[in-house]
Amino acid sequence: MTLDTGTTAWLLASAALVMLMVPGVGFFYGGLVRRKNFISMVALSFIVLALVSLQWVLFGYSLSFGGDVGGFIGNLDFLGLAGIGMEAGDAGYPPLLFVVYQGMFAAITMAIVTSGFAERVKLSAFIIFALLWTTLVYDPLAHWAWGGGWASALGSLDFAGGTVVHISSGFAALAVAMVIGKRSGFGQYSLEPHNIPMTLLGAALLWFGWFGFNAGSALAANGLAANAFLVTNTSAAAGALAWLAASWYRGKPSSLGMISGAIAGLVAITPAAGYVNVGASIVIGAIAGLICYGAMLFRLKKGLDESLDAWAVHGMGGLWGAFATGIFATIAINGYSGLLEGNVSQFFANAAGALAAVIYAFAVTLILAVLVDKTLGLRVSEDEEYVGLDISQHGERV
Amino acid sequence: MKMIKAIIRPERLDFVKKKLEDQGINGMTVMQVEGRGDQKGISLQYRGGAIQVDLIPKVQVEIVVRDSVTETVIQAIQEGAKTGKFGDGRIFILPVERSIKVRTGEEERDS
């Protein structure tokens, strides 16, 4: 097949859109922490972007998309991107473009996990952890779903990474938070967000970038990409209004709640974007807003300091999205039927793929976090935490 | 009348407010300030040497009260602000010549 210029142009743009989501996460999280940790929070995302970008071209891509080894991981055929060229392959775009596009997904996934480290992580230990995590958690999960691993063989559908990106990062953040422990003062006095508009701006970058994330995952500039684009926006809108309404019922309708609902809607539509129609996306987004809001309340009630709610929004939103894909997939969009069209096995395949990812991501993250904590120490000292990570880790002030 | 000027940890402000409310003291002015005490800030140790964080963010609470309740207020602030570690702050007591309410022009007095 010759190179399709339309598709290639769209994928180039999509890769750039997803890149912007990585600092987007940083600014979203940065507004939510106290002022003394703002730089740290944004810096973690940029460090992840740099670190994972290198890991990806050296061996990460090969572990994810190399020849299948036991359904679990890719082999090392593409080490250092050996044999990956500029000539369009069967797909109509250069394989090198697929490498960079997928690399951005790996980066944003690790960036989401930083929620569990917020305001207390030691930078040196974080860098080691991030390298281990993206290699031992992200790369296998990407292989399971997209690289020819067992989940794709089972027929579990994950269009743009609801399981690979969101379930994995959300449940990893939960495991990290349990190992690293609560922030000093958590539950005793209020640890208020220092800059809500910054968080809203971060969310704007995420919402914008998500079009590259989901519509780009069609891997073509075609009708399927257009459908993914539309359902992505619709689900975000429904999620925003659902969370807004739920929090209004309990008190003030906060902008932060509204935008968290939008992210919840975006997360939940991610695995479904290429399989469901616009009607289903309204339901998926609205329910995502409510589920994630409930998960956040549950997290607070349990006194868990998974500080910036990656678990509630990405973990639980991703889980709902995986189930929703198995429920609402319609043959008219992409040739797959879900539960509503009588295809029970699709629902169970998706449930199996999602639950396996929950268990794998949580368990392996727990082991890695304990390992790094015992050897290097994940956490800064009490004094360093008190003066803030901006000064103690970076020697800078906002 | 006395002005009580307390420099405390920002995260203890809510506790101090609560203790003062318990004593019926509601009015106050709060300022974000930076400062240091005898330890000259906080020293962080690294393999490459030490970083001295010179000025630490604090809040300054100012309250004007009648002479008779001064000791109660000092005690309330101390109870609310104390963690037992370096950096808990200071309380200063200053004499106040007059205190006038802007809205009514009414002058508050000790007696």
Per-residue pLDDT tens digits for A334-374: 999 999 999 999 999 999 999 999 999 999 999 999 999 99
- How high is the pLDDT of residue B109? 83
Q: Which of A189, A381, A391 sits opposite B53 (nearest CB)?
A: A391
Domains in chain B, number: 1
pLDDT value for B111: 66
In a domain, B43, yes or no: no
DSSP labels, A141-169: HHHHHHSS-HHHHHT---SSSIIIIIIHH
How many alpha carbons fall within 13 Å on the CB side of residue A33? 31
For A5-394, CATH number? Answer: 1.10.3430.10
B33 is in which domain, residue-wise? 1-6+22-37+65-86+97-111
Q: What is the pLDDT of residues B49-88, one digit of tens each?
A: 677 778 889 999 999 999 999 999 999 999 999 999 889 9
Task: Identify the pLDDT of residue B98.
Answer: 93
- d(CA A384, nearest CA chain B) in Å: 7
- Contact (CB<8Å) A392/B53: yes
A201–chain B nearest CA distance, Å: 26
Residue B33, in any domain of the structure: yes
Asked whether residue B46 is assigned to any structural domain, the reply reads: no
Check if the interface score ipTM surpasses 0.85. no
The shortest C-alpha distance from B44 to chain A (Å) reads 7
Name the token pair of B52.
């001295």
DSSP string, A268-287: HHTTTTTT--HHHHHHHHHH
Minimal CA separation from A377 to chain B, in Å? 14
**Residues A40-44: contacts with CB under 8 Å, at least 24 apart:** A40/A119, A40/A123, A40/A388, A40/A389, A40/A390, A40/A393, A40/A394, A41/A114, A41/A118, A41/A119, A43/A394, A44/A111, A44/A114, A44/A117, A44/A121, A44/A126
pLDDT band (50, 70, 90) for residue A279? very high
The DSSP call for residue A63 is H
Whether B44 has its CB under 8 Å from any CB of chain A: the answer is yes
Task: Say yes or no for a CB contact (<8 Å) between B53 and A395.
Answer: no
Q: Which residues in A lie closer than 8 A to residue B58 (C-beta atoms)?
A: none
Find the farthest-apart pair of alpha carbons in chain B and give their distance in angstroms, rounded: 62
Q: Is residue B58 part of a domain?
A: no
Per-residue model confidence as pLDDT tens digits over A318-342: 999 999 999 999 999 999 999 999 9
Among the partner-chain residues A189, A386, A395, the one whose CB lies closest to the CB of B51 is A395
Residues of A whose CB is below 8 A from B56? 387
According to DSSP, the residues that pair with A321 across neighbouring strands are: none
- Could you give the angle at the alpha carbon of A298 between the alpha carbons of A294 and A302, nearest 5°? 175
Nearest CB to A387 within list B11, B14, B56: B56
The whole-angstrom distance between A128's CA and the closest CA on chain B is: 18
pLDDT band at residue A397 under the 50/70/90 scheme: confident
Looking at A26-30, A202-206, B107-111, which range is the least confident one? B107-111
The answer, yes or no, to whether residue A190 has pLDDT greater than 80, is yes
For position A89, what pLDDT does the model report?
77
Q: How far apart are CA A173 and CA B41, in angstroms?
A: 33
pLDDT at B47 over 70: no
What pLDDT is recorded for position B54?
Answer: 81
Cross-chain Cβ contact A387/B44 below 8 Å: yes
- For residue B42, give the nearest of A36, A189, A387 by CB distance: A387
CB-based contact B15 A383, cutoff 8 Å: no
Number of residue pairs across A and B with CB atoms under 8 Å?
Answer: 22
Which pLDDT tens digit goes with each residue over A119-173? Answer: 999 999 999 999 999 999 999 999 999 999 998 889 999 999 999 999 999 999 9
The pLDDT of residue A118 is 96
Can you give the residue ranges of every domain in chain A?
Answer: 5-394
3-state secondary structure of A343: coil
pLDDT of residue A174: 97
